[in-house]
Structure 1
Amino acid sequence: MLSEFQAVTATLLRIGLGVFWLITAVLKLRRPPTHDQVRQLLDRPLWAIPLVVRLLPWCELLLGVTLTTGWQARGGAWASAGLFTCFGALWLRAIVRRTLGEGGCGCFGSGDNRFRAAPARISKLEDRLLWVGIQWALAVVAVAVAATQ
């Protein structure tokens, strides 16, 4: 059984993850990432790139709704953990292959907006590895939230 403090903390973390997914989904729906940005991370298979560009924002929107409302929160938290782990692995692979260009990854949509600026400006190897670590840390938070639901 969770203490009241643990329950409140888990709820706040769940809602925070949900808001994160809602923001990324809305930004991607407003200005979808370019095929080149997605290709930098995925590289292959080429047939998956249009699928990712079209479907990922809707998946993120669904995750945001499930986590902020609490409906199917455990499944949403596990899916968040999986996505954060996948994104971190894709970033790491792009760093190793040196395929991540100066235009950024499209994580927060394409075009000029204040949310896109952070990953797009990451140029040093250490900073890019830190970004991977942050994504994997968020995956651990999502697993912790899933375990408390």
Structure 2
Amino acid sequence: MSAALHLAKPADLDRLTALVAAFHAEVGIEQSDEARRAGLAPLLEGIPHGAAYLLGPARAPMGYIIVTFGWSVEFGGMDGFIDELYLRPAIRKRGIASEALISLPKALAQAGVKALHLEVNRTNGSAQKLYARAGFRAREDYMLMSRRL
């Protein structure tokens, strides 16, 4: 199996929505399909704030990665944030996520992105190991804080 990344396009909305719904169900995110589609559609239509990538064959994706973009003075330019990463449960533990997490930063760096961030549940040791293998490091003195608006 290959973790080939394919930039999702508007024609992929149904496939991506189904994968996102599966991920949200798995982690307990409650959201209507209408709200989910409204959050995904602009990414597929090319807004500059983010991108969605399908993992594996474009017509039968095994998962997805969504990256959003921002600006960081500290990192010297555009940065990215992995908003969601999901692989179908049946194909996990085969190195696909690791492969994707190694190839994605290379592609983003070529596009001018200076840093890539993500958040991980403090109790999810297997995800922390996956991210560490892909070169992500915890920032000792920092903690992500959020405010819903």
The TM-score normalised by the length of structure 1 is 0.37
Whose strand fraction is larger, Structure 1's or Structure 2's? 2
Whose helix fraction is larger, Structure 1's or Structure 2's? 1
Bigger relative contact order, structure 1 or 2 (CA pairs below 8 A, ≥6 apart): 1
